[in-house]
Amino acid sequence: MALMPTTRPSLLSKSRLLFIAEFADRFAPKVIAELRGRLEADGSSPFWEGLGRHFFAMEYSTADYLTGIGQKSFIAELMPKHPVYVNLLPPAAREAIGAVHTDTAPARAMLEQEGFRYEGYVDIFDAGPTVECFRDNVDAVRRSAVLPVTLGEEDPVPDSLTDNVLWLVSNREFQGYRALVTAAPPRVDRFPLLPYAAAALGVGEGDSVRAVPLAPRDR
């Protein structure tokens, strides 16, 4: 039974949803995800070149960095206060509205499978889409369950694994949150973990974890 760290971007995103499920009271009723917009091979943004550059004396990468470190006041200070007609933008800028970066496409697909929807809102810099979903309607939140842990054998019999499916499992610690992918039967009352998987999560016999079975598309 192999233990797999959640290194795939889509699984990393799903592990964040499991975190939301565990600490729901810390999140608003509606969850919003901002996705990276379309960029050219040289790193330039068609939307920025068509709109933002007319108002900001900086490169797209600089503006993106400043917002990433929390310096966002310049947006309100420099961006136009009135609506901008999309038809007046260059074709490349118009086509970039609501489009995602190639590397972000799997994350968008995963979020849409989880119930997130694009409602027409985009990032002001690269026009990447903002997708949203009510917290309690997110698939991973709705289907996840808190289960007590039972420690299994170090070397399970291969025949006993044939009916297993992959699960995303996390501990319930806010500060030391960890998640991993492991195999288990499709329906369990107690979640079976091998000792090294339990150690990776920082849990033991009788502790509880939050778990959700992965859909076939994620396995």
Q: Which residues are annotated as catalytic?
A: 101
Q: What are phi and psi of 131, to 5 degrees?
A: -105, 150
DSSP designation for 37: B
C-alpha 140/C-alpha 22 separation (Å) is: 11
Whether residue 154 contacts residue 194, with contact meaning beta carbons closer than 8 Å, is answered with yes
Planar angle of CA 215, 22, 163, nearest 5 degrees: 30
Q: What are phi and psi of 88, to 5 degrees?
A: -85, -10
C-alpha 46/C-alpha 125 separation (Å) is: 10
DSSP string, 27-68: S-SEEEEE--B---TTS--HHHHHTGGGT-SS-HHHHHHHHH
Strands across the sheet containing 117-122: 30-34, 129-134, 117-122
**Token pair for 45:** 């943004």
C-alpha 104/C-alpha 86 separation (Å) is: 24
